[in-house]
Amino acid sequence: MERKFRISFHIANQTQKKQSRIYRNLSDIKSINRESFVEFGKRLGLSYKIINREIDRFCDEYAELDTLVGNSFLSENLKNNWLLSFKYRRSTLK
C-alpha cells in the first residue's frame, strides 16, 4: 500500500511540474493587450460599445474568484500560479 502511494504521489508531482512549465511557456509566447481584443472584436463585426463593455466586464473584480480557486482540486502551488496569471492577464487589459 505504501509503495502505491509513493508512486501515485510521484506521478502527481511530476504532472504538476509539467503543467506549471507549460503555463510559464504559454505566457512567454506573445503579449496580448486591450488593443488586441478591440481589433479582434472589430474583425467579428462588433461595435466599440459592445467590445469595451465585454472587456470591462472581464476586468472587474470577482469576489467569488478566490473561493472558487481555493475549493478547486489544484495543488496550492498551482492555485497560486493560476490566480497570479489571471490577475496579470486582467491587468494587461485595463
Q: Are 59 and 34 in contact (CB under 8 A)?
A: no
State residue 4's pLDDT score: 52
State residue 44's pLDDT score: 93
Give the span between the Cα atoms of 18 and 76, in whole angstroms: 15
The domain segmentation of the chain, as residue ranges, is 2-92
State residue 63's pLDDT score: 77
State residue 51's pLDDT score: 94
State residue 62's pLDDT score: 79
Give buried/exposed letters for 37-72 (b at 16+ CB in 10 A, else e): bbeebeeeeeeeeebeeebeeeeeeeeeeeeeeeee
Cβ-proximal residues to 52 (8 Å cutoff; 6+ apart), any chain: 38
Could you read off the pLDDT tens digit of each residue along the chain, which spans 94 residues?
555 545 555 555 555 555 555 555 555 556 778 998 999 999 999 999 999 999 998 888 777 888 899 899 989 999 999 989 888 888 888 8
Give the span between the Cα atoms of 4 and 44, in whole angstroms: 52
State residue 48's pLDDT score: 94
